[in-house]
A and B are shown apart, each in its own frame.
Chain A
Amino acid sequence: MPSPSKQFDAIGAPWQIDTAEPLGSDVEAAVAHRIELFDRTYSRFRDDSLVTAIARTPGTYTFPADAPPLFDLYRRLYDATNGALSPLVGRALEELGYDRTYSLQPAASRTRVPDWSEAISWNGSALTALTPAVLDVGAAGKGYLVDLVAEVLAEHGVTTSTVDASGDILHRGAGELRVALEHPLDTSKAIGVVKVSNEAICASAPNRRAWAGLHHILDARTGLPTDRIIATWAIARTALEADGLATALFFAEPAELEAEFDFQWVRMHATGRVEHSAHLTGEVFL
């Protein structure tokens, strides 16, 4: 495992960056700045973010240059999951109690999650909100930020690195990583081990953010948490794709996603059944 490590908290999760040499203070500052820029755009938990502005006032908003890959992936996943994976679940999450104060108190009434076409349109650089849309990019945003942080490292000459944002892990450069697939109900246990090299592995499990029998992975078609799948893992070229696909595996049949994306996957059903892609660089303990 590369060392040394840089550890910090960002966007509500612990992060760890492993590199061959210690990061210089200029690189660390650049990483912190990149994360701050991302958060200021996409966080629905802060008052001064672009997403919060959109939630207050419908209209057309120009996004930073990092937005196209994120919205493009969201659109592909929205289509591949027949609308189940949507960036428009923000309001439903708030109503279930997953809001900026973590009230975790479900509201008595629920608002239907709007369809993409009735709420927003994306033209490649600007987003038009037709209603006060509460965007939530939680399905792929953290993975994307992992990619962006790795880009900052590469710009500073750090080409071999592992960026781990607690569930979203990207390996770049020489060597490979052996990664345990954590049992969703018992974190002292693994259900398998995979190897990744110059790719990302992202895990998703509802129990990471669960409250009062609810969790944060919502099916936009019902506005309710999913309950059929209890853990997913996706391995892809980027953490953006891997994170989004890990979420999509809660809603879509893997074959439907495989028709659209090049990736490996593992998922566990609530019944305990574990399934995985035909090609998997690793082992599942079945």
Chain B
Amino acid sequence: MRNLTDNKTAVALFAGVTLVGALSACSSPSTGTDSGTADVNAPDAGADYTDGTYTESGDYTSPNGAEKVDVTLTLESNTVTDVTVVGYGENPNSIQFQGEFIDGIADEVVGKNIDELSVDKVAGSSLTSGGFNKAVDAIKADALAE
């Protein structure tokens, strides 16, 4: 669980370390509900994405001002097999926040198709989601263009 003094991910980011794949245990809630999702079948997802690794930057606005994250996805057979998120927050709050976000995200998104659902609305949001979503959208556009 997170606590008020947990800043190890902030330190990792500061050192320029890129976090990939499975991450530390204590501050990273894992869903435990999607084990085995790596074989979620993709073919009927609608769009065909070109296999490869894509990197995009996304901007978002936090209470500290403009912030930036880089998102790198690896696609294989329309399935995300790896994801890396690097934040560039300069404000200490942003660094820690992005650290937590990255900590949680990296072992969650692997194995899920990008286009899986047809919905009218999405319920939920986060301060940094704008940046991440923009980056994912751009990745989808890149992948479809190739």
Q: Are A167 and B125 in contact (CB under 8 A)?
A: yes
**Interface-located stretch among A69-77, A123-131, A149-157, A197-205:** A197-205
Q: How far is the CA of A70 from the CA of B123 in the complex (A)?
A: 22
With A181-B124, A189-B108 as contacts: A270 and B29 at CB distance below 8 Å: yes
Q: What is the distance, in angstroms, from B116's C-beta to the closest C-beta of chain A?
A: 8
Partner among A106, A184, A214, A274 whose Cβ is within 8 Å of the Cβ of B33: A274
Within 8 A of A (CB), among B94-137: 96-97, 100-101, 104-105, 108-109, 112, 114, 116-129, 132-133, 136
Q: Are B34 and A273 in contact (CB under 8 A)?
A: no
Q: What is the distance, in angstroms, from A95's C-beta to the closest C-beta of chain B?
A: 13
Q: What is the distance, in angstroms, from A79's C-beta to the closest C-beta of chain B?
A: 27
Contacts of A106 in B (CB 8 A): 4
What does the 1/0 interface line of B41-68 toward A look like (CB < 8 Å)? 0000000000000000000000110000
Partner among B31, B108, B122, B136 whose Cβ is within 8 Å of the Cβ of A179: B122
Q: What is the distance, in angstroms, from A212's C-beta to the closest C-beta of chain B?
A: 5
Q: How far is the CA of A56 from the CA of B89 in the complex (A)?
A: 36
Q: Are A179 and B2 in contact (CB under 8 A)?
A: no
With A203-B123, A211-B63, A213-B3 as contacts: A187 and B117 at CB distance below 8 Å: no
Within 8 A of B (CB), among A156-193: 162, 164, 166-167, 169, 177-191, 193
Q: Are A208 and B125 in contact (CB under 8 A)?
A: yes
Contacts of B116 in A (CB 8 A): 190
Residue A272 CB within 8 A of the other chain: yes
Within 8 A of B (CB), among A107-138: none
Sort chain B's interface into a size bin.
Answer: 35 or more
**Interface-located stretch among A34-42, A59-67, A226-234, A257-265:** A226-234
Q: How far is the CA of A162 from the CA of B125 in the complex (A)?
A: 17
Q: Are A205 and B108 in contact (CB under 8 A)?
A: no
Q: Are B124 and A285 in contact (CB under 8 A)?
A: no
Partner among A187, A212, A227, A274 whose Cβ is within 8 Å of the Cβ of B129: A187
Q: How far is the CA of A179 from the CA of B4 in the complex (A)?
A: 34
Partner among A104, A180, A185, A273 whose Cβ is within 8 Å of the Cβ of B32: A273
Chain B residue at minimum C-beta to C-beta distance from A176: B120
Q: What is the distance, in angstroms, from B111's C-beta to the closest C-beta of chain A?
A: 10
Residue B142 CB within 8 A of the other chain: no
Residue A279 CB within 8 A of the other chain: no
Q: Are B127 and A213 in contact (CB under 8 A)?
A: no
Q: Are B133 and A188 in contact (CB under 8 A)?
A: yes
Chain B residue at minimum C-beta to C-beta distance from A101: B63
Partner among B7, B30, B96 whose Cβ is within 8 Å of the Cβ of A272: B30
With A268-B31, A285-B34 as contacts: A169 and B63 at CB distance below 8 Å: no
Chain B residue at minimum C-beta to C-beta distance from A206: B126
With A210-B97, A273-B33, A274-B33 as contacts: A186 and B108 at CB distance below 8 Å: yes
Chain A residue at minimum C-beta to C-beta distance from B123: A203
Chain B residue at minimum C-beta to C-beta distance from A96: B4
With A207-B101, A272-B33 as contacts: A188 and B114 at CB distance below 8 Å: yes
Q: Are A205 and B4 in contact (CB under 8 A)?
A: no
With A177-B121, A193-B117, A272-B29 as contacts: A213 and B4 at CB distance below 8 Å: yes
A interface, CB within 8 angstroms of B: 1, 102, 104, 106, 162, 164, 166-167, 169, 177-191, 193, 201-203, 205, 207-214, 227, 230-231, 233, 268-274, 285-286
B interface, CB within 8 angstroms of A: 1-7, 29-34, 63-64, 92-93, 96-97, 100-101, 104-105, 108-109, 112, 114, 116-129, 132-133, 136
- Known A-B contacts: A187-B133, A191-B31, A272-B32. Give 17 more (CB < 8 A): A180-B117, A180-B123, A181-B124, A185-B104, A185-B105, A187-B132, A188-B136, A189-B109, A193-B119, A203-B123, A208-B127, A212-B93, A212-B97, A213-B5, A230-B29, A272-B30, A285-B34
